[in-house]
Amino acid sequence: MFSTYTPINGRKLFMENSATSNIVGLGKVVLKMTSGKELTLIDVLHVPDIRKNLVSGSLKDEALEAFKLYKNEVENQLSKIIKAIRSDRGGEYGALFEKFCSKFGIIHQTTAPYSPQSNGIAERKNRTLKEMMNAMLINSGLSQNLWGEAILSANHILNKVPHKDKNESPYELWKGHKPSYKYLKVWGCLAKVEVPKPKQIKLRPKTIDCIFIGYTNNSSAYRFLVHKSTILDIHENTIIESRNTIFFENIFPCKERKEEGSSRKRTHEVASGDHQRDEEPRRSKRAKIAKTFGLEFLTYVLENKPRTINEALSSPEAPFWKEAINSEIESIMQNHTWELVDLPPGSTPLGCKWILKRKYKTDGSIDKYKARLIAKGFKQKEGLDFFDTYSPVTRITSIRVLIAIAALYG
């Protein structure tokens, strides 16, 4: 696994649980990614006590290279110069990125620490892309590992949607002419892709079943995931590009396969008796249409708020959740919400739960993070933990008595 290796003696690795493990070596590891690209990790420690470990290879160093390509494209295609760039304080914008911006006189504006709302346009666009991605994956039934293709397709479509204020799309502002929508297809649908002429075999199908997953850059071809193939050189679950295809935009092979599997699980055998009906019941000839709620409903219900406090504190937004939790605890202590007492013998205390939500502004950016601590009252038993329940609504009799007393005494 190590491409270079140097033995080490006397060094130890300290764990979170205060345990220590011996480090016996140090070296360089080369990871081969599925795209064919190699990622080199330096200063990798060899700790025999850790039998399994997750190696996280960061791709943040690609941010500078991507920005260089974007800068060249802007200057060559638009004959304009980038004067400023605005970003958060992510680790991908390191010293090399700052040095590159300074070299070309580009002002790098950054947001305040832990304030994504100050970069509202980018954050709202990221949220829109994520919601579109989730809806596309659910509607098509495709695997979650194709989220990258879904994001690229969603971004391709958004760039051709007119802005509500300028009535022009980003594509029109960039290219100088209105985009065409004729070539757009339903993501995840079935497509019959023609086999290239050199690979066609007599007495064999001339097309293969594929799933449409996106568009190509600077080309009229489409991107497909091979679904079924009898061609030796074209394997299933591989990505190909082609323009010679026929689309079936109402058929989703992966979704139908999942629905078929779930319907089989719900099927139960019913024993038929000897009793026979003399007359068959009249059956309706009306075709039944499956109930659908549309992509808008799927997008609405896909808010990825944390369900537990552990999930919130292990997310990238952990600092914001910690601040909201501390604010809730301080409010409870200041208002003297509870009083600490000794637990009576034989009693079981009720648990509590954190409700975590994000509050949004009208433009879609995050306004604040809200945390509420509630008791699990549903675990109480009537007759043991409580006897009578009361509504927080005042009785009309009490209101009338109060008004009468007020009228009597002026």
| Element containing residue 309 per DSSP (H, E) | helix 309-313
33 and 39 in contact (C-beta within 8 Å)? yes
51 and 41 housed in the same domain: yes
In the prediction, which pLDDT does 170 show? 87
In the prediction, which pLDDT does 18 show? 61
Average pLDDT value for residue range 207-216: 93
Average pLDDT value for residue range 20-36: 76
353 and 407 housed in the same domain: yes
Domain boundary among 20, 37, 57: 57
Q: What's the structural domain count of the chain?
A: 3
Q: Which domain holds residue 43?
A: 2-57
Among 132, 139, 135, 177, residue whose Cα is nearest residue 156: 132
Statement: residue 275 has pLDDT above 50: no
321 and 395 housed in the same domain: yes
In the prediction, which pLDDT does 344 show? 85
Residue 70 maps to a domain: no
In the prediction, which pLDDT does 57 show? 44
Statement: residue 271 has pLDDT above 70: no
Average pLDDT value for residue range 22-36: 75
What are 73-129's pLDDT values in tens digits? 888 988 889 999 888 877 777 788 889 999 999 998 888 877 777 777 888 888 899
Residue 99 maps to a domain: no
- Tokens 């990790």, residue? 41
How far apart are alpha carbons 121 and 87 in whole angstroms? Answer: 11
Residue 271 maps to a domain: no
299 and 159 housed in the same domain: yes
Higher confidence at residue 378 or residue 252?
252
What are 173-188's pLDDT values in tens digits? 888 888 888 999 999 9
How far apart are alpha carbons 305 and 312 in whole angstroms? Answer: 8
Higher confidence at residue 86 or residue 164?
86
Instruction: Using the CB atoms, write b or e for 206-223: b if 16+ within 10 Å.
Output: eebbbbbbbbeeeeeebb
In the prediction, which pLDDT does 190 show? 94
Residue 97 maps to a domain: no
Statement: residue 164 has pLDDT above 70: yes
Q: Specify the length of the chain in residues.
A: 410
Average pLDDT value for residue range 342-347: 84
% of the chain residues with pLDDT over 70: 83
Among 227, 222, 226, 225, residue whose Cα is nearest residue 241: 222
Residue 7 maps to a domain: yes
Domain boundary among 19, 34, 57: 57
Higher confidence at residue 313 or residue 203?
313
What are 54-75's pLDDT values in tens digits? 554 445 557 888 889 888 988 8
Higher confidence at residue 16 or residue 403?
403
- Tokens 């829109």, residue? 128
Mean pLDDT estimate for the chain: 81
In the prediction, which pLDDT does 17 show? 60
200-214, 244-258, 279-293, 393-407, range with the lowest pLDDT:
279-293
298 and 309 housed in the same domain: no
In the prediction, which pLDDT does 246 show? 93
SS (H, E, C) 232-300: CCCCCCCEEEECCEEEECCCCHHHHHHHHHHHHHCCCCCCCCCCCCCCCCCCCCCCCCCCCCHHHHHHH
13 and 38 housed in the same domain: yes
240 and 142 housed in the same domain: yes
249 and 322 housed in the same domain: no
196 and 251 housed in the same domain: yes
298 and 323 housed in the same domain: no
In the prediction, which pLDDT does 249 show? 92
Residue 114 maps to a domain: no
Residue 139 maps to a domain: yes
In the prediction, which pLDDT does 56 show? 46
Average pLDDT value for residue range 314-339: 89
* 50 CA to centre of own chain: 31
In the prediction, which pLDDT does 156 show? 92
In the prediction, which pLDDT does 58 show? 47
- Tokens 């080309």, residue? 219
Average pLDDT value for residue range 29-43: 70
Residue 90 maps to a domain: no
In the prediction, which pLDDT does 134 show? 93
Q: Helices 147-158 and 120-140: crossing angle, nearest 10°? A: 120
How far apart are alpha carbons 245 and 192 in whole angstroms? Answer: 5
52 and 166 housed in the same domain: no
157 and 299 housed in the same domain: yes
Domain boundary among 18, 35, 57: 57
